[in-house]
């Protein structure tokens, strides 16, 4: 397994201490643990604030997880491409005939362990709909979804709920949406309504 920011000796321990300290100081805490599964898609929502990225790092370091994220291929070029690989990035080349979903499924199939993190809204600004890329990646790879709910009202990130996909896509989407009902995010004025392709 290639070293990342999340498993590099000494550095990851130091960053874990710093992030845990910051979260405690800010009054945030993590409720739950990640499932003991080799591969899954971790979806975090609602994504409503610039602070969500810092919360994401705090949660991942707290859970001692080694996660991946998608990034446009240009980020992974010299001279700083190594940094994004080290942070767990997987380059997505939109110029390829193979689509984003297929590229992620391929990356999953080539890995012994694979935790892909996705914010379904794709932006911190208020949105009315989620895209379904996270669902299609999990479906294509034959892996489950795991929820990370940002509960801004109680300053808690609730993680660990596993959702196994079925053959009924629309029923799955509704069930996933229902799991996030009532969760406000850091900024309660921005939230989604429905999901879409």
Alpha carbons 84 and 80: distance in angstroms, whole number: 7
* pLDDT, tens digit, 9 for 90 and up, residues 101-146: 999 999 999 999 999 999 876 554 555 667 788 999 999 999 999 9
- pLDDT of residue 87 exceeding 80, the answer is yes
Alpha carbons 136 and 128: distance in angstroms, whole number: 20
- Burial (CB count within 10 angstroms: exposed 0-12, middle 13-18, buried 19+), residue 173: middle
- pLDDT of residue 184 exceeding 90, the answer is no
**CA dihedral sign, ordered 106, 35, 43, 136:** positive
- pLDDT of residue 196 exceeding 90, the answer is no
Percent of the chain's residues with pLDDT above 70: 87
Alpha carbons 104 and 115: distance in angstroms, whole number: 11
C-beta pairs of 164-167 under 8 Å, 24+ apart in sequence: 165/135, 165/138, 165/139
Q: What is the pLDDT of residue 18?
A: 94
Q: Of 69, 130, 80, 73, which is closest to residue 104 (Cα–Cα)?
A: 69
Q: What is the pLDDT of residue 197?
A: 53
Which of 70-84, 153-167, 182-196 has the least mean pLDDT? 182-196
HSE-CB of 165 using CA atoms within 13 angstroms: 20
Domain boundary assignment for the chain? 27-49+68-80+89-195
Which of 30-34, 68-72, 138-142 has the least mean pLDDT? 68-72
Alpha carbons 96 and 180: distance in angstroms, whole number: 34
DSSP string, 12-76: HHHHHHHHHHHHHHHT-EEES---S-SEEEEEEE---STTHHHHHHHHHHHHT---BEEEEGGGG
Residue reference for tokens 């995010």:
185
């Amino acid at each position: 397994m290639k070293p990342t920011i999340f498993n590099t000796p000494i550095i990851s321990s130091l960053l874990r201490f710093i992030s845990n300290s910051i979260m405690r100081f800010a009054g945030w805490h993590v409720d739950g643990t990640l499932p003991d599964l080799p591969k899954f898609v971790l979806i975090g929502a609602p994504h409503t604030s610039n602070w969500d990225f810092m919360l994401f790092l705090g949660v991942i370091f707290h859970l001692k997880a080694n996660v991946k994220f998608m990034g446009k291929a240009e980020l992974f070029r010299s001279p700083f491409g190594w940094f994004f690989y080290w942070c767990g990035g997987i380059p997505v080349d939109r110029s390829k005939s193979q689509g984003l979903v297929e590229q992620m499924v391929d990356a999953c199939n080539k890995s012994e362990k694979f935790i892909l993190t996705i914010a379904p809204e794709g932006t911190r600004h208020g949105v009315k709909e989620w895209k379904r890329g996270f669902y299609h990646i999990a479906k294509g790879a034959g892996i489950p979804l795991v929820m990370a709910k940002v509960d801004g009202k109680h300053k808690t990130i609730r993680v660990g709920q596993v959702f196994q996909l079925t053959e009924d896509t629309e029923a799955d989407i509704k069930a996933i949406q229902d799991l996030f009902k009532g969760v406000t995010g850091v900024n309660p004025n921005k939230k989604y309504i429905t999901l879409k392709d």
